[in-house]
Structure 1
């Protein structure tokens, strides 16, 4: 799992760089032809990781339900994200990664409700979910690299 966590850390630091580089207006801008923005992608990867790893392991997610609903699969930005929420997402980017690593080291992921993703991956364990999460986060990083060209 060392490599999985190393890749994840790299991804999350790249996301953090978007928050630190772009203005609130730029983070919220939905360019023509796109259905979301930079900050939605960041919120999305945070909540999806919690669902994939914690929810399907039968453990409580470490995000509030309203945050999960706002950024879950199938959602789209419906209003401007505030500075306060951007700050919250910034903290969650790294803190939830550290919590997951700690929970994995403490063997908290003992069961898993099998889940098939929309891309056809069949996940049968939290370990597989963490590995798939890197793929998912890389996809969204690619979307963000494309969005930034138009803001």
Structure 2
């Protein structure tokens, strides 16, 4: 038996959900569907959360970009793709990327590439280059940065 929620209970529950951590609209709607709320109630609650500033997609995107860059060392491409998968608008994605300082971005990239290279125990330079490229590209760093760095690090 699933618990049923009144509109007020669901509002309060989602206020807590959004206050705990920045959320995007898609996550909030998914949570409400999980709670078996009807579409009209979902719309009402989402509007309430936006009006009360519990839900703000621009703020979510900025926080997401800062966190994934600072903590997980993701490049801009991965951040953009992840935000797109959450249905974040191009405007909010562009705003979010402005949260990342260009100097920090390039320094983080250099540090990450050099650190990863020391962890690759392969004597063959071709395989070494491929492993480093795969690692950096998977993390969402731009291909031109990756290949220039590899030329520099693994001659």
TM category (shorter chain) comes to under 0.3
Give the alignment's TM-score, normalised by structure 1: 0.25
Give the alignment's TM-score, normalised by structure 2: 0.24
Larger radius of gyration: 2
Which protein is richer in helix relative to its size?
A: 2
Q: Which has the higher contact order (CA 8 A, sep 6+)?
A: 1
